[in-house]
């Protein structure tokens, strides 16, 4: 049963509060500060129980229970079943229910409930003092709290407003927290999508560039030099297999919450840079690789260094190769510094960075811009994740230069 499922620790606490209220209200009816109720003394207990019952079930259907609480308190007041001078106590259960309403429903509905309860309470108090109180016998001893309807109405309105205000603040905090959690969740999803997009771009871009170069070579020399064509096809076969394994690893991240360093296939790192240089040499780029490793990089940072070098070499193969290229990776206790410099196409005159065929489409290759395509954007994003610096642009004479510096987190290496 849904009602039974909703009863838990909070339900027990509400029931305890309702019992305490019933005892206080019954005592006030039996021994009021003003004139006693004309009802029999034993009626104080069922009246107090009926008035306090909504406080025990206020979490089930708050709006319906608020109507019940207000109607019960008003009925008990206008029929004279309550104590003069303590009528405000009869509306305390309605205050608790109004708090629940304000904390769970819209502001418009809770304001309507507040105004309705306040007007109903004020009308009930005025009816009591105008029609019920004059017919009550005077107390034997002077009252320690003389009945005074403005005090009764004021106390009821203050308590109702306080309950509504506290409930509204609670609801605002819950909504704010929910929006923040949703925003953080969306940001995390967006970051993960960008991370996977960078990985796929780096893996596919590098491999397809190498495959395209080798396929072109094989197509042109297939008849004249079949051995060279078979060697090119062998490179294509090996690169394709490695690429498929990398793609499977990256796509596996879409089905799990694991980090890039925890994929089913070992992730690349500094030790794999020579193999990366060998792939670029196979595509016709003379690579001079220099790695100075004075400290061990954290796995995630090592992957970023590898990907930056991989993407830079991919750009060289795509936009400038065949050419000469130097790759320098310098790792110390504080940061990893990367520099990739190419000489531009070896054929053709040395033109400036802004014009001429050195990097343009005249040689069948797409132009390379300093603003950057997806490759430069991906490298810049990787560096930004570590708060490092990145630059890429044409050299004054010819060629292209990429530099990146990735500081290690907390200034220490593993």
Tell me the C-alpha distance between 116 and 122, whole Å. Answer: 10
What's the pLDDT score for residue 261? 44
Task: Give SS3 for 105.
Answer: coil
**Cis? peptide before 322, omega within 30° of 0:** yes
What's the pLDDT score for residue 223? 74
CATH architecture of 270-414: 2-Layer Sandwich (3.30)
Cα-based angle 184, 188, 189 (whole degrees, multiple of 5): 120
Q: Which residue has the tokens 């500060």?
A: 33
Cα-based angle 50, 52, 53 (whole degrees, multiple of 5): 65
Domain regions of the chain by residue span: 2-183, 270-414
* Segments of the chain scoring below 50 in pLDDT: 1, 3, 258-265, 348-364, 410-414
**Cβ distance 137 to 205 under 8 Å?**
no
**Cβ distance 67 to 109 under 8 Å?**
no
| Residues contacting 362, CB < 8 A, separation 6+ | none
Task: Give SS3 for 83.
Answer: coil
The CA–CA distances, whole Å, from 385 to 69, 296, 412 equal 57, 19, 17
Q: How many other CB atoms sit within 10 Å of the CB of residue 321?
A: 25
- In 3D, which of 88, 85, 82, 80 has the Cα closest to residue 143? 85
What's the pLDDT score for residue 206? 61
- In 3D, which of 277, 373, 363 has the Cα closest to residue 326? 277
**Cβ distance 54 to 65 under 8 Å?**
yes
What's the pLDDT score for residue 131? 81
DSSP 340-401: EEE---SSS----SSSSTTSSGGGTS----SS--HHHHHHHHHHHHTT-EEEEEE-SSSSEE
Dihedral angle computed from the Cα positions of residues 83, 87, 88 and 90, in that order, rounded to the nearest 10 degrees: 80
DSSP lists the bridge partners of residue 335 as 407
């Amino acid at each position: 049963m849904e009602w039974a499922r909703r009863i838990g620790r909070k339900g027990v606490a509400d029931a305890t509060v309702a019992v305490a209220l019933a005892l206080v209200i019954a005592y006030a009816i039996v021994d009021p500060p003003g004139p006693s109720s004309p009802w029999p003394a034993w009626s104080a207990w069922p009246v107090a129980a009926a008035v306090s019952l909504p406080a025990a079930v206020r979490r089930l259907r708050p709006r319906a229970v608020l109507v019940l609480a207000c109607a019960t308190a008003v009925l008990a007041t206008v029929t004279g079943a309550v104590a003069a001078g303590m009528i405000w106590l009869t509306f305390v259960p309605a205050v608790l229910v109004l708090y629940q309403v304000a904390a769970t429903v819209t502001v418009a509905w809770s304001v309507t409930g507040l105004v309705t309860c306040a007007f109903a309470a004020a009308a009930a108090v005025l009816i009591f003092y105008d029609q019920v109180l004059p017919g009550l016998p005077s107390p034997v001893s002077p009252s320690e709290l003389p009945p005074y309807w403005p005090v009764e109405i004021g106390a009821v309105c203050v308590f109702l407003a306080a309950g509504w205000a506290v409930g509204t603040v609670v609801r605002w905090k819950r909504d704010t927290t929910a929006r923040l959690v949703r925003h953080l969740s969306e940001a995390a999803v967006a970051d993960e999508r960008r991370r996977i997009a960078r990985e796929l771009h780096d893996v596919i871009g590098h491999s397809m560039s190498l495959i395209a170069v080798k396929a072109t070579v094989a197509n042109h020399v297939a008849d004249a030099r079949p051995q060279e064509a078979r060697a090119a096809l062998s490179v294509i076969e090996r690169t394709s297999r490695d690429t498929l394994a990398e793609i499977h690893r990256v796509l596996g991240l879409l089905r799990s919450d694991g980090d890039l360093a925890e994929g089913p296939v070992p992730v690349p790192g500094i030790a794999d840079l020579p193999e990366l240089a060998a792939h670029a040499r196979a595509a016709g780029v003379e690579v001079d690789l220099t790695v100075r490793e004075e400290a061990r990089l954290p796995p995630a940072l090592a992957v970023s260094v590898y990907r930056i070098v991989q993407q830079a070499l991919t750009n060289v193969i795509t936009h400038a190769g065949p050419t000469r290229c130097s790759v320098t990776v310098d790792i110390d206790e504080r940061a990893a510094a990367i520099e990739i410099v190419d000489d531009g196409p070896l054929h053709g005159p040395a033109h400036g960075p802004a014009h001429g065929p050195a990097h343009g489409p005249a040689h069948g290759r797409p132009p390379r811009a300093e603003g950057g395509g997806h490759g430069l954007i991906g490298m810049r994003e990787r560096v930004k994740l570590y708060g490092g610096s990145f630059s890429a642009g044409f050299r004054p004479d010819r060629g292209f230069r990429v530099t990146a510096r990735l500081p290690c987190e907390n200034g220490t290496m593993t």
